[in-house]
Amino acid sequence: MIHVTRITIGIAVVGAFALAVATTTTLPSPNDLITKAKDSGLESIPAGKALTQYQQQKLKETGIASGYSPLLTKEQIELGKKLYFDPRLSSSNLISCNTCHNLGLAGTDVVPAAIGHKWAANTQNLNSPTVLNSVFNDVQFWDGRAHHLGDQAQGPIENPVEMSAPSKLAVEKIVSIPEYTQEFKKAYGEKVKIDFKLIADTIALYEMTLVTPSRYDKFLNGDTKALTKAEQDGLDTFIEKGCTSCHAGINLGGSMQAFSVVDTYKFEKIGGFKGDKDGLVKTPTLRNIMQTAPYFHNGQYWEITDAIKEMGRIQLGITITDKEAQSIATFFKSLDGQMPSVTYPLLPPVSSKTPKPTF
């Protein structure tokens, strides 16, 4: 068995002499590290038929587009993409799902607090989580109030400080556009009922396809050369420090966890967000984390190493050194995944019946 040895140089003072003291820590072999990662609850993104089975199971569990079959067809996904990019689902005709979850920016908006209707910031200064890989989350929203992507898609459309379009208005807009009516029929059949749930669920079907497998997944699946030695070192540090107690599963996050467990988050007062009724907060995914700054629910950290050290302090009650934080950040680079290929859709024109924008 091959092992890599980490050497740390310390200084011991003996009388008038300073002596260099070398200590060694044995790192696991790549194969042992893979086993260690899996034993810590880390999982790779399913691929091929396994991904299809995962998606279909999610649909069955959540009731997205229930009553229609088959689901995740090419027509449904393409329609969902158009709705995702269409700003006319907002009352102002200016804000789409892609505004806050920009697929050209790793599914985020790169500002601390989401900006919505009338240029208003989120009332709790909440940061927009990435939409990429959101199918692998246990819950949606920072407080976990939505249990699947269909529920989540409804929220921002109706929220007065986001897209500010009541469900009735959103439906009225879509059904007033003849091409959309035809596309819903192609996607779901001639007897389709275009209601607010189906609009949101169709957006969710598109979002379910936005997955980004990475070199990290190849490593977990047995390709021992997929990660560099430095990245393997960072993964081992990540596990040893206890980060997988929250950041586990396929998404290295996505479940509800206690926040500020040991100490108080430095910027807790900004926005005043307290989590759900039990004080739990959805753990953000670490996939593509190097591309989704700023960090934390209220977007107060721009440097990933600072965010890592803060998590060690408030969640684990430990001091993570600069060197350890940099090592973990090096591992995070392996979580940069293959981005979905997205062609901006041509959206159908409005009709004389389409409600005019309001501001």
Beta bridge partners of 10: 21
- Report DSSP letters for 30-64, one per residue: HHHHHHHHHHTTB-PPP-THHHHHHHHHHHHHHTT
Closest to 313 (Cα-Cα) out of 323, 321, 302, 301: 321
Rounded to whole angstroms, the Cα distance separating 191 from 179 reads 16
Task: Judge whether residue 5 has pLDDT over 50.
Answer: no
Closest to 358 (Cα-Cα) out of 99, 118, 122: 118
Q: Average the pLDDT over 131-142 and give the result.
A: 98
Least confident of 6-10, 41-45, 250-254, 352-356: 6-10
Q: Average the pLDDT over 341-348 and give the result.
A: 96
- 101 annotated as ligand-binding: yes
Beta bridge partners of 14: 17
Determine if the peptide bond prior to 87 is cis (ω within 30°).
Answer: no
Rounded to whole angstroms, the Cα distance separating 107 from 138 reads 18
pLDDT of the residue at 285: 98
Sequence-distant (6+) residues with CB within 8 A of 335 are 214, 216, 252, 286, 287, 288, 289, 290
* Active site positions, annotated: 162
Task: Judge whether residue 50 has pLDDT over 90.
Answer: yes
Matching fold, domains 28-47+213-335 and 49-207: yes
Alpha carbon separation from 258 to 142, 264, 267, 336 (Å, rounded)? 12, 12, 16, 26
- 148 annotated as ligand-binding: no
pLDDT of the residue at 25: 62
Task: Judge whether residue 13 has pLDDT over 60.
Answer: no
Give helix 229-240 / helix 30-39 axis angle, nearest 10°: 30
Q: Quote the pTM value.
A: 0.92
Q: Average the pLDDT over 109-136 and give the result.
A: 97
For residue range 290-299, what is the model confidence (pLDDT) as tens digits? 999 999 999 9
Task: Judge whether residue 343 has pLDDT over 80.
Answer: yes
pLDDT of the residue at 26: 81
Closest to 252 (Cα-Cα) out of 305, 214, 293: 214
Give residue limits of the domains in the chain: 28-47+213-335, 49-207
Task: Judge whether residue 83 has pLDDT over 60.
Answer: yes
Sequence-distant (6+) residues with CB within 8 A of 119 are none
- 3 annotated as ligand-binding: no
Task: Judge whether residue 23 has pLDDT over 80.
Answer: no
Q: Average the pLDDT over 5-20 and give the result.
A: 36
Closest to 76 (Cα-Cα) out of 86, 88, 68: 68
Rounded to whole angstroms, the Cα distance separating 151 from 146 reads 5
When pLDDT is cut at 50, 70 and 90, the band that residue 16 belongs to is very low
Mean model confidence pLDDT for the chain? 93
Q: Which fold has domain 28-47+213-335?
A: Cytochrome Bc1 Complex; Chain D, domain 2 (1.10.760)
pLDDT of the residue at 17: 33
Task: Judge whether residue 350 has pLDDT over 70.
Answer: yes
- 247 annotated as ligand-binding: yes
| Share above pLDDT 70 across residues of the chain, in percent, rounded to a whole number | 93
- 243 annotated as ligand-binding: yes
pLDDT of the residue at 263: 98
Q: Which fold has domain 49-207?
A: Cytochrome Bc1 Complex; Chain D, domain 2 (1.10.760)
